[in-house]
Amino acid sequence: MEKKVEVVIATHKKYKMPTDDLYLPIHVGAELNKDKDLGYQKDNVGDNISDKNDRYSELTALYWAWKHVDAEYIGLAHYRRHFGGKNYHHGKDRLNWLVTKAELEPMLNNYDVILPRKRRYYIETLYSHYKHTHYSNQLDVTSDIIKEKYPEYADTYEKVINKTSGYMFNMVIMRKDLLDAYCTWLFDILFELEKRLGTQNLDAFQQRFYGRVSEIIFNVWLEKQFENGVIDKKRVKELPIVYVEGVNWWKKGTAFLKAKFFNKKYENSF
């Protein structure tokens, strides 16, 4: 029987997980680590792109969920980042801050898309921030591909990358038909991008750029759905992000400023 909603949690290691049956932990990159068994659903079962995890990050979990999860709504979260619920910021155990199935299911009667709160860069556009922290040619080639394969998205792409805010982390909970449309579009673009750019001889952190490009172009896809009337903005809800381990905002802010003013590329996640 089809579930109302299921949220997969991308993880590459054993970690404390929510017990609510809303969630399904996914061992990402299982194909690259066949000797490791975390006790979670592996992303190398059935139709999968598990062997791309060192480049695609949590997108291998999204791809697996797209192909295998049977639910009206499908979502993606991370082992360290989740959607917050009514208990957000209540109590010491941050896992208790997460949205629950009992909270989420009624919400989905009124919303088609659930997103994490927008990330705002204020002094940076999405493009300039990416250029300072990663490598802008990755977005430039992506733009070329969009112009070739999906020319109707070209203007929307330019509009989005010049904004100073966007939905990041590849976190989303979406109606299944919308997720199918998004993933069909997304992976068509990323697979072509991979043909053109490969790994670019980057370090392990920077070579995961396919997952980072998708963070940007998700906003392009979403904005186009708004423009076309496919998704009504009134049926989109933002939830807070729960950082299970907390965030060192000083370190994060310092790295942001170094990237902005000294072109110091990011070397790790924060």
Residue where the block lists tokens 């299944």? 176
Q: Which residue has the tokens 């980072």?
A: 212
pLDDT at site 266: 61
Residue with tokens 């203007």: 155
Asked if 164 contacts 121 with a C-beta cutoff of 8 angstroms, the reply is: yes
Residue 256 CB-density burial (10 A; 0-12 exposed, 13-18 middle, 19+ buried) = buried
Quickly tell me which residue has 């791309």 as its tokens: 52
- Alpha helices by DSSP H, 175-239: 176-197, 209-228
- Between CA 46 and CA 44 the distance in angstroms is 7
Residue-averaged pLDDT of the chain: 93
Gap between the Cα atoms of 174 and 197, Å rounded: 30
Q: List pLDDT tens digits, range 205-217.
A: 999 999 999 999 9
Query: Cα(129)–Cα(215) distance, rounded to whole angstroms?
Result: 13
Name, in order, each residue with C-beta under 8 angstroms of 70's C-beta and a sequence gap of 6 or more.
Answer: 2, 3
Q: What is the pLDDT of residue 259?
A: 57
Rg, Å, the chain Cα set: 18
Q: What is the pLDDT of residue 257?
A: 56
Greatest C-alpha distance within the chain: 54
Q: Is the pLDDT of residue 262 over 90?
A: no
On the question of pLDDT at 260 being above 60, the answer is no
Contacts of 65 (CB under 8 A, 6+ apart): 6, 8, 26, 74, 76
pLDDT at 250: 46
Percentage of residues of the chain with pLDDT beyond 90: 88
* Each residue's pLDDT tens digit, 182-198: 999 999 999 999 999 98
Query: Which residues neighbour 27 within 8 Å (Cβ) at sequence distance 6 or greater?
Result: 11, 12, 36, 38, 40, 41, 42, 43
Nearest to 221 by CA among 165, 192, 178: 178
Classified as helix, coil or strand, 122 is coil
pLDDT of residue 200: 81
* Residue 6 confidence class, pLDDT cut points 50, 70, 90: very high
pLDDT at position 258: 57
Mean pLDDT over 68-93 rounds to: 97
- Residues 92-133: tens digit of each pLDDT: 999 999 999 999 999 999 999 999 999 999 999 999 999 999
Task: Tell me: pLDDT of 265 over 90.
Answer: no
For 140-178, write each residue's pLDDT tens digit.
999 999 999 999 999 999 999 999 999 999 999 999 999
